[in-house]
Amino acid sequence: MAGGLTKLMPIDPNPGLKDKVYNSLKQAISGMDIYNGDNPPKLDERKLADDLNVSRTPIREAITKLEQEGLVEVLPRRGAFVVRMSKKQIIEIIHIWAALESMAARMATEVATDSELATLRDMLAKHNDNNKIDIDEYSQTNLAFHQKIITLSKCQRLIDMTDALFIHVRAIRRKTIAEHDRAVKSIVDHMKIIEAIESRNANLSEKLVKTHALNLAEHVKKYVNYLPE
């Protein structure tokens, strides 16, 4: 079903079962097309328990934790649903993400090795021909690119801070990448970002990454009409 969870693999019971169930469910939500369809995706406790080969108790505990993080909403007599943000909230999230990712880019210029930075260029290598962009394939590359910048900062606290935010940033990037030639513009921006980071230009790297993210916020503000105000 569009926007739904993919089938999850069973988990072997052990002392770390709660964390495994929580991590599996959060990872699955991260991979969802949250904003596809008319209604927010519903989490079916019974199906999740069957998929993971666990009882419904750790599923409920994971859902409770995800609700506390603002990723899931539990409605009385209706069940648990993945939270969809309003247009205003998405724009706010992108602004926060812009600040954090640009900081990560600055840090990456200082702590990442040349070989680690080279992985960014490797990601874009197959997408240099703008006339032959596979949108679905590039969408995945685009998401991985931004997440890689975060990890190249080697700052665990920053990585943790962006974790929940990335679920919604990821979803809206996936949704908008095919709109108004954003894929072509994205590749151009990414190559400039790579060159700045490779040259260890912290100020320029930070500026380019922030501008790139804020351009997404502006796109959402101007063109996205499928989110509630």
Residues in the chain predicted with pLDDT less than 70, given as ranges, are: 1-4, 6, 11-15, 129-131
pLDDT at 33: 83
Sheet holding 72-75, edge to edge: 42-43, 79-82, 72-75
- Sign (positive/negative) of CA torsion 171, 173, 174, 176? positive
Tokens of 78: 């209706």
DSSP at 37: S
pLDDT at 129: 67
Round to whole Å and give the CA distance between 153 and 156. 8
pLDDT at 10: 72
Give the contacts of 147 (CB within 8 A, at least 6 positions apart): 166
pLDDT at 198: 97
What is the chain's length? Answer: 229
3-state SS string over 192-229?
HHHHHHHCCCHHHHHHHHHHHHHHHHHHHHHHCCCCCC
pLDDT at 228: 77
Nearest Cα to 197, choosing from 98, 111, 97?
Answer: 111
pLDDT at 34: 87
CA-to-CA separations, 57 to 11, 16, 29, 48, in angstroms, rounded: 14, 14, 19, 11
With vertex at residue 97, the alpha carbon angle to CA 43 and CA 177, rounded to the nearest 5 degrees, is 70
pTM: 0.83
Partnered with residue 72 across adjacent β-strands are 82
In what helix (H) or strand (E) does residue 81 lie, and over which residues does it extend? strand 79-82
Location of structure tokens 């709109």: 179
Contact between 41 and 34 (Cβ < 8 Å): yes
Q: Which domains occur in the chain, in start order?
A: 17-82 (1.10.10.10), 87-223 (1.20.120.530)
Tokens of 108: 């990456």
pLDDT at 148: 97
